[in-house]
């Protein structure tokens, strides 16, 4: 199990914590992380862009002039896409861009991203976010003490109102709870700050269940048994051979 130092808000070491290999010791899987980010962004799209077709624009539906004999191009309606003010042909219409990514894939992508932040040295464990007053200046000074430069993602309880109020005007920092942690925020922020309580919550949320392990073990044994099983010989039809 990887071991990480626990720091206080003054960047002083106050202890150590062991992280679970099943959550913080997973190999990097870039294709899975890419697919999880793609799914997250697709699910976030509103899908409300729309254009008016010839059935939506205003205008008369009668034929402007007769089909033949005028020397002009034939036309059926003023609402045709060929005319100014007419409808739009093949324009965007409201649609649902979201698609479902399996839960195991989402959890595995989160574990892979968390493990990569740990290997990079960008995972910091803070004992507790505790402020006397919800002051933005105090929060910025704390980020400087912890050497948190760049975009920082802080995972803590949303009931910590002083932390929420102190950080809401800092554009380079974002505060979420363990259940709101998503793959896009992990990839989009260079630094990740957790607390021991959040580490336990994430381990309980993302750690594979015993039933999942049994299913994986059963599938692996089944595949090995099928590979080791010899091919069955089919008796030759003597009559057809003759």
Q: Across 166-228, where does the E strand assignment appear? A: 173-176, 191-194
Q: Which of 182, 179, 200, 204 is nearest to 113 (CA)?
A: 182
SS3 227: helix
**pLDDT computed for residue 241 by the predictor:** 47
Here the CATH number for the domain that contains residue 111 is 3.40.1370.10
What rounded mean pLDDT belongs to the chain? Answer: 87
149 part of a folded domain = yes
pLDDT tens digits for 62-85? 888 899 999 998 888 889 888 888
Are 41 and 87 within one domain?
Answer: no
> pTM, whole model, 2 decimals?
0.76
Are 70 and 176 within one domain?
Answer: no
55 part of a folded domain = yes
> Are the C-beta atoms of residues 152 and 194 closer than 8 Å to each other?
no
pLDDT band at residue 211 using 50, 70 and 90 as cut-offs: low
The token pair at 157 is 């309880």
Are 20 and 66 within one domain?
Answer: no
Structural domain harbouring 53: 47-96
Give the distance from CA 227 to its chain's centroid: 37
pLDDT tens digits for 149-166? 889 999 999 899 999 999
Are 174 and 127 within one domain?
Answer: yes
């Amino acid at each position: 199990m990887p071991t990480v130092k626990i720091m206080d808000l003054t960047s002083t070491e106050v202890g150590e914590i062991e992280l679970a290999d099943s959550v913080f010791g997973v190999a990097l899987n870039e294709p899975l992380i890419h697919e999880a980010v793609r799914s997250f962004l697709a699910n976030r799209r509103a899908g409300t862009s729309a254009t008016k077709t010839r059935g939506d624009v205003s205008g008369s539906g009668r034929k402007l002039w007769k089909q033949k004999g005028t020397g002009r191009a034939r036309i059926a309606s003023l609402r045709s896409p060929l005319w100014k003010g007419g409808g739009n042909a093949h324009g965007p219409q409201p649609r649902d861009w979201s698609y479902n990514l399996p839960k195991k894939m989402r959890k595995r992508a989160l574990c892979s991203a968390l493990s990569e932040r740990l290997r990079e040295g960008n995972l910091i464990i803070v004992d507790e976010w505790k402020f006397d007053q919800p002051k933005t200046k105090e929060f910025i000074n704390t980020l400087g003490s912890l050497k948190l430069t760049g975009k920082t993602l802080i995972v803590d309880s949303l009931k910590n109102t002083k932390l929420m109020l102190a950080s809401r005007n800092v554009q380079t920092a974002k505060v979420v709870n363990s259940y709101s942690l998503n793959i896009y925020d992990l990839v989009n922020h260079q630094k990740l700050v957790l607390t021991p309580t959040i580490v336990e919550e994430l381990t309980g949320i993302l750690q594979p269940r015993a039933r999942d392990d049994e299913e994986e073990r059963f599938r692996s044994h089944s595949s090995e048994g099928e590979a080791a099983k010899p091919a069955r010989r089919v008796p030759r039809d003597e009559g057809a051979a003759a």
